[in-house]
Structure 1
Amino acid sequence: MTSDKTLMIVMGTRPEAIKLAPVALAAQRDGRMRVVVVRTSQHRQMLDQMVEAFGLPIAVDLDIMRHDQSLTQVTTAALEGLDRTIAALRPTAVVVQGDTTTTFCGALAAFHHRVPVAHVEAGLRTHDRFQPFPEEVNRRLTAQVTDFHFAPTEGAEANLRREGVPDARIWVTGNTAIDALRITLERAGERAAATGPERRILVTAHRRENHGEPMAEICRALVRLCERFEDVRVRFPVHLSPRVRATVFERLQGHPRIALEEPLGYEAFVLAMSQAHLILSDSGGVQEEAPALGKPVLVLRETTERPEACEAGCAMLVGTNADRIFDEASRLLSDEAWYGQMARAKNPFGDGHAAERIVSVLADALA
C-alpha cells in the first residue's frame, strides 16, 4: 500500500531506538503511513547496535556526536539538523520518545514547522528538575508542544492531567520497552535461561548525576558484596562515557569475580538480564524490563520517574551510598522470602503490545 502520509520517527540514543523500533515495525505492518526513520546519532556505537538488531530503515543520519560533547553542542546540532530534515521531508507527524536532548529537539523542530508531535512514553516525572539531569526538563518541555501524548501507565497519565493536558490528547498504551523485550525473547528462545550454579549480579550505571564519587560508592558496594558472598559474580557492561569508565576501571579492573565488559548489544543485554539473579542499575529502561523478567532491581538513584515499579514491589530506590546498596543487596541474597516477593511482583508496564495501540491511534487520526 502506498500512502501519502509520512510518519517521521526520530531517535538519537540506544534507549530511544529500543523503544521506537516496535513503533516503526508496527507502522510498517499497518501500512497506512510511510515510515521514515531519522537518527541524530547523539550516541553512535550503542545506537548502531540497536539499528542493526531491529533492521531499522534509516533515511537520514545527522551524525552529530562529537567526543566529550556538551549539552549545548548536542542541542544546537540536533535542532539545526532536524529543522533541515523536517523542511526537506515534510512529514505528516513526528514521533519522539522519552526524554533525551534528541527528544526535545525533535519535538521543538516539528513545532516550528507546525507538524504534529507524538510523544511515546509521555508523562514521566520525578518533579525535581535536576533529577535526572537534563532528562526531567527535556520531557517537561516536550510535553508543551506535543499533540499525541502516549502515556505508558495511569500514573503518567495523571501527571499529564495535573499539568493541564486535555484528556482527548492522552492515551495509556503500556510501555514499548516491553514490546521490544517480548520480540527479543521470542527470537532468543532457550538461550534466555539462566545457567551455572553462581548467582549473577548485573550492573549498569551511567547517569550524569552519578559521575564521580557516587560511581565510586557503587564500586565499593560491589567489592563488598563479592567479599561477603562467595557464589556471587558481577557482570558490569561499562558505559562508553569517559567519566564513567575512568572511575569504574580504576576501582574494579582485575577483580577476579567482577567482569567489566564493553556495552552489550540489545539481545545480549536482554539475555544478561534474564540470566541474572539480581540487577543494580540507574537506567530507566531497566526499571521497566527487569520486572517483566521477574528480576528484582535496586535502583541506583535518589528519585525515579517510574514509581510504579517501586509501588508494585519489583524495584527499590537505594541511591548511591555504598552501605545502603550493600545492605539491600545482601538482604536479597540472604532472604529467600524477600527475594521471592520482589521477583513475583506484577510488572506494571504493560503487555507488550503498546506499539500497536500507538500506531492505531496515529493512523486513524492522520487519515
Structure 2
Amino acid sequence: MARRIGVFTGSRSEYGLLLPVLRAIDAHSALELVLIEGMGRDPADAPEFRAAATVPVKRDDESAASTPRAIGRAVLGVTDALERLRPDALVIYGDRFEAFAAMIAATQMRVPTAHIEGGDLTQGGTLDDVVRHAMTKLAHIHFTTNAEAAGRVRMMGEEPWRIHDVGFPPIDLIRTGDFAPPGRVVEELGLDEARPLVLFTLHPISTSPDKAGEEIAACLDALERARTDLGAQLVLTHPNGDLGSAAIVAALEGVAGRDGVTLRRSLGRWLYHGVLNWCGRVGRGVCVGNSSSGLKETPAFACPAVDIGPRQDGRLRGENVLHVPCEADAIFGAIRTSLTDEAFRARVAAAENPYGKGDAGPSIARVLAGLDLGDPGLVAKRTVFPER
C-alpha cells in the first residue's frame, strides 16, 4: 500500500510555496497525498489538489491574545484531522503560528513530522525565528533550503541522518517556467511596458506591531517619490494577517486609485512569479518590502530587491538584495539604484541563486518514500550536539 503523506498548508501563501512538494508526492507511486488546509489557499491560486480536511486558524481581532487563541483552536483542529485521516507522516512548512500549531498536534500524536525551512535565520524582531527553531526541535525530519541552514540544524543537536538539504521548493516552478508569461502580467495588472515597475509588500513585525503605521508611512513616502520622480508604476499587495496588518492595509487603501498604482489583496503564486520575471528579465523593475520572498525568490529571476527594516535580518540573501532601514530617503535611494544603476543591474543579472537548483519537490518525495516511517527510532529523537 502507498504510504499516506499529509501536507499542512496554514497561511494563504503556503499552498503556492508547497506546490512542487504536493505535485511530487502526488506523482510518486509509493505515496498518497493527503492535504490539510488551514487558512486556505490564495484565491488567485488554481485549486489543483482537493483538501481532505480544513482547519480554522484565523485570528479573531487585533489583540495580542488573538494569536495564542488561534494557535489553540488550530491545535485542536489539526488533532481532529490527524485522528480522522491517519497519515503515515505530515509535512509542515515554515515558521508561522499556524504551522507551529500543526507541529504541536502532530508530534504529540507521534506522527512522523517533516519540517521544511528549518535552520533559517530572521533575527529582525519577529517571532518567526524562535517559532522556527522550536519547530525544528519538535520535527523528526528536516528539509532545509540551503547548506548554511542545514549546518545550523545540526548544531541544534539534530542527528545528521534526519537532515536533508533540498533547496527552496518554489525554485522548482521557476526552473520549469511555471509562472505567468509577460503578456499575461501586463494584461492582468494593466501595466505600461514603457515604465519601470515597483512591486511592494510590507508585513508587520510581530514584536512591534504598534509601529506598523509609521513604517508603512515611510514606505509610501518613498514609493510616491519613485512614482513621481522616476516615473515608476506601483503594484502593492496586502500584508499577511499578523497583528499590525490592519494599519498597513488602511494606508495602502488610502493610495489605491492614484495614477500608476495598483492594489491587490494578493497576486497568487503564478502571477507573483510572473511579475518578478517581468521586473528582472523582461522589463525594468524591483521588488521592495520585507517579505522573505524578496530574498528567496528574486535571485532566480535576476530581479533586484530592496529589503526594508529588520524583519529579515540574518536570512541568507544573494547579491541582488539591497538592505535599508525603514526610512523614506534610504528606501527611495535603493529603489533608484535598482531601477537606474546599470552596473548594479548587471551584477544582479550575473549573481548566483543561493537557494538551490530546482529539485526540492522530487527530493522530498524520494526521502519520504525511502524512510522507514514505522521505525520507533524515527519519533524517539536523540539530541546529539556536535563536538567542538
Same fold, TM-score > 0.5, yes or no = yes
CA 1:90/1:305 → structure 2, altered by over 3 Å: closer, same or farther? farther
Aligned partner of residue 178 in structure 2, secondary structure: helix
* Aligned equivalent of 1:271: 274
Q: Are 1:202 and 1:278, in contact at CA under 8 Å, matched by a contact in 2?
A: yes
Which letter does structure 2 place at the counterpart of 1:237? Answer: T
- Whole-angstrom CA distance in 2 between matches of 1:84 and 1:328: 48
Corresponding residue to 1:15 among 4, 10, 13: 13
- Whole-angstrom CA distance in 1 between matches of 2:25 and 2:133: 26
Provide the aligned length of Structure 1 versus Structure 2.
Answer: 352
* Aligned equivalent of 2:44: 49
* Aligned equivalent of 2:297: 289
State yes or no: 1:64 paired with 2:67.
Answer: no
Q: Are 2:294 and 2:306, in contact at CA under 8 Å, matched by a contact in 1?
A: no
Which runs of structure 2 are paired with 1:114-125 in the superposition (5 Å)?
A: 114-125=110-121
- TM-score under structure 2 normalisation? 0.84
CA 1:164/1:64 → structure 2, altered by over 3 Å: closer, same or farther? closer
Corresponding residue to 2:26 among 17, 25, 28: 28
Alpha-carbon distance, 1:21 to partner: 1.8
Deviations 1:202-235 (A, max 9, x none): 1111233562111111111111222321x32111
Aligned partner of residue 103 in structure 1, secondary structure: helix
Deviations 1:101-147 (A, max 9, x none): 12111111111111111001221123x3xx35222221111011111
Alpha-carbon distance, 1:274 to partner: 1.7
Corresponding residue to 1:186 among 166, 170, 178: 178
* Aligned equivalent of 2:141: 148
State yes or no: 1:314 paired with 2:331.
Answer: no
Corresponding residue to 2:308 among 292, 295, 300: 300
- Whole-angstrom CA distance in 2 between matches of 1:48 and 1:303: 26
Which runs of structure 2 are paired with 1:154-233 in the superposition (5 Å)?
A: 154-182=147-175, 185-186=177-178, 188-189=180-181, 191=183, 196-209=193-206, 211-229=212-230, 231-233=231-233
- Whole-angstrom CA distance in 1 between matches of 2:342 and 2:167: 30
Alpha-carbon distance, 1:49 to partner: 3.4
Alpha-carbon distance, 1:329 to partner: 1.5
Alpha-carbon distance, 1:308 to partner: 2.9
CA 1:132/1:354 → structure 2, altered by over 3 Å: closer, same or farther? farther
CA 1:19/1:257 → structure 2, altered by over 3 Å: closer, same or farther? closer
CA 1:103/1:327 → structure 2, altered by over 3 Å: closer, same or farther? same
* Aligned equivalent of 1:259: 262
- Whole-angstrom CA distance in 1 between matches of 2:260 and 2:9: 36
How many percent of aligned residue pairs carry the same amino acid?
25
* Aligned equivalent of 1:105: 101
Structure 2 residue runs of 5 or longer lacking an equivalent are 187-191, 280-284, 374-388
Which letter does structure 1 place at the counterpart of 2:227? Answer: C
Q: Which has the higher contact order (CA 8 A, sep 6+)?
A: 2
Aligned partner of residue 211 in structure 1, secondary structure: helix
- TM-score under structure 1 normalisation? 0.89
- Whole-angstrom CA distance in 2 between matches of 1:340 and 1:187: 23
Which letter does structure 2 place at the counterpart of 1:112? Answer: Q
Deviations 1:4-53 (A, max 9, x none): x2111111112321222211110111121221000122xx5x53433xx2
- Whole-angstrom CA distance in 2 between matches of 1:17 and 1:238: 17
Q: Are 2:198 and 2:287, in contact at CA under 8 Å, matched by a contact in 1?
A: yes
Corresponding residue to 1:351 among 357, 363, 372: 357
CA 1:90/1:254 → structure 2, altered by over 3 Å: closer, same or farther? closer
Q: Are 2:56 and 2:77, in contact at CA under 8 Å, matched by a contact in 1?
A: no
Q: Are 1:214 and 1:320, in contact at CA under 8 Å, matched by a contact in 2?
A: yes
Aligned partner of residue 220 in structure 2, secondary structure: helix
- Whole-angstrom CA distance in 1 between matches of 2:165 and 2:100: 21
Which letter does structure 2 place at the counterpart of 1:161? Answer: R
Aligned partner of residue 79 in structure 1, secondary structure: helix
- Whole-angstrom CA distance in 1 between matches of 2:311 and 2:237: 23
Corresponding residue to 2:36 among 18, 31, 38: 38
- Whole-angstrom CA distance in 2 between matches of 1:187 and 1:290: 13
State yes or no: 1:336 paired with 2:342.
Answer: yes
Corresponding residue to 2:251 among 247, 251, 265: 247
CA 1:262/1:91 → structure 2, altered by over 3 Å: closer, same or farther? closer
Structure 1 residue runs of 5 or longer lacking an equivalent are none
- Whole-angstrom CA distance in 1 between matches of 2:56 and 2:185: 37
- Whole-angstrom CA distance in 2 between matches of 1:73 and 1:102: 11
Q: Are 1:302 and 1:317, in contact at CA under 8 Å, matched by a contact in 2?
A: no
Alpha-carbon distance, 1:264 to partner: 1.6
